[in-house]
A and B are shown apart, each in its own frame.
Chain A
Amino acid sequence: MVGLAFMAWLTVVICYGGNWVLGQCMIERPIVVGLVAGILMGDVRTGVIIGASLEAIFMGAVNIGGAISAEPVTATALAVAFCVGAGIDQSAAITLAVPVGVVTAFLSIALNNVVLAFFAKPFQDMAAAGNEKGLAVQHWLLWFFKYAAFALIAFFGVFFGAEPVAAIVNQIPANVMAGLNAVGALLPAVGMALLLQMLWSKELAVYFFLGFTIYEYLGLPMIAIAVFGVVIAAVVALRDKEIFDLTHKAAATAAQIPAATGSDESVDADEEAFFA
């Protein structure tokens, strides 16, 4: 069990710590954590499938401005460890992961707001003294110890939790199991709703139903739907740009101010970069 617990610890360090030192490259997302945990724990297939299921559930949970609703790394690492190492049923492991993610999110917020706050003063003092080396050392050491310490939650979770949890889960009657499966099937709705909350507007809401219907009735692969989406957005954006230019020009002539064409070009270039 120590070996498995160590692998859970390592998974969290690699994925959570790695994510924040590699420019938030999203290796903290369940879909990647599942793969990493699967490789480390010796069952890639199970890890990947658990990761994909949890990705859909935790879809809306991102660290935006330091406020997080769920911390999916520990949750995914524990789910894979429980399933691969302790033989817990896959859908039970997925369902278990959700409350774990919510609880570890609280711990993560506590760590960030309380413990790290003690380092504000040394940081500001060193900066005022022009101590570049000290700042760099604190930057890197704090990074390492923060995630190494946080990953201990996963270590102890597996070390102490795997056997009792397995003993309980393996005696679950069939109808309770059906309940757990139902949770796994419906729960991604919350993740989707969180994303919708960010994107929703009355005039654009129809596009949500378009995407839903295309998948449900035409069964196209996601990449095809993404391309359709980009094409539709590009067509609409080009038309909007024309209208924009016309009203802009009219306003400019009315005010007798020559339009700044040079700046418009740079804006175009940037717009292309966003769609690239």
Chain B
Amino acid sequence: MAKITDNISAEDRKMLNSIFLRSFTVFASCAGGSITAGADGWLYSEMPAINRYYGDDPEARADAMKRHTTWYNITQNVGTFAMGLVASMERENSTHPDFDTESIDAIKVSLMGPMSGIGDAIFWGVLRVIAAGVGINIAMTGSALGAIVFLLIYNIPSILCRYYMTYLGFNLGTNFITQLYDGGLMKLITKATSTVGLIMVGAMTAANVRFATPLAIPVQDSDPVLVQTYLDAIFKGLVPLAVTLVCLRLLKKNVNVNLVLLGLMVVAFVLGLVGVM
């Protein structure tokens, strides 16, 4: 990865590092709520570039700032790619008078969907799941180490990605993402990350969804037959697995998640109340 940050002038580096640091607060305020989403944080992060390229032209600077007040939302660990890319486009715009500024907006908008898609899947679907899986295991013993391990596993790759994405966007430009998608390579990446994610969710389902029934069938002149023993003989964790898949089925049928949550609460409560579990 080193080559991405090489061949960059000291001034560019200073600007990109500043964008990288400011990007941590991109969704801190969200002034404008659902009207502009993270636009104010985006503009705050992009200011080092705007100030650098339009520093001596107040009018062009205000134009550039106004340009960046439109709705913005990309998973923030990969969103710095768009920030770096737009910084390079603002540089072009400041040196070429005939540059089409609408293309800056267009690029930003067209990146939001695909980049959030990658970002959500990799960071929330896979990395966070792995981190939580390992962390919960440790934390269940009452150790503070669980939370610390969770944060380290999630944040080290996240911050590295955020950093390199800033440089990558500035250097590579739009072709990069289009090539990823058009060439079909994106599918490979999604498939690989989903594979890890699914294995982890499987293991976490086994670890965290619990069912044990004290039900016993009395037998004359012998020990009672424990229902749980029979369930385990069929397949260990059969009930948690079934419950999870039923929930998935309901969600896939667009049943509201809170309805599923409350429904399962009621069912589980009744099962516990009558002594089935």
Contact = CB atoms under 8 A, between A and B. Distances in A.
A56 B136 contact: yes
B117 to A, nearest CB: 10
Interface string B20-45: 00011111111111111101110110
A251 B17 CA distance: 41
A122 B277 CA distance: 56
A183 B120 CA distance: 29
Interface stretch (A81-89, A149-157, A160-168, A267-275): A267-275
Contacts of B120: 64, 198
A32 interface: yes
B203 interface: yes
Contacts of B143: 48
Contacts of A14: none
B271 interface: yes
Contacts of B33: 112-117, 119-120
A122 B29 CA distance: 13
A196 B197 CA distance: 9
Interface residues of A, number: 127
Q: Chain B interface secondary structure, helix, strand, loop or mixed?
A: helix
Contacts of A192: 201, 204-205, 208-209, 244, 247
Interface of A: 20-27, 29, 31-32, 34-35, 38, 44-46, 48-49, 51-53, 55-56, 59-60, 62, 64-66, 69-70, 95, 98-99, 102, 112-117, 119-120, 122-124, 127-130, 132, 135-136, 138-140, 142-143, 146, 175-176, 178-183, 185-201, 204-205, 207-217, 221-223, 225-226, 228-230, 232-234, 236-237, 240-241, 244, 248, 260, 263, 266-267, 269-276
Given A66-B37, A215-B207, 10 more contacts: A31-B136, A46-B142, A65-B116, A128-B65, A217-B236, A232-B196, A236-B191, A240-B188, A244-B184, A273-B164
Interface of B: 1, 3-4, 23-37, 39-41, 43-44, 47, 51, 58, 61-62, 65-66, 68-69, 73, 76-77, 116, 120-122, 124-126, 128-137, 139-140, 142-144, 146-147, 150-151, 154-155, 157-162, 164, 168, 172, 175-176, 179-180, 183-185, 188-189, 191-212, 236-237, 240-241, 243-245, 247-248, 250-252, 257-258, 260-262, 264-265, 267-275, 277
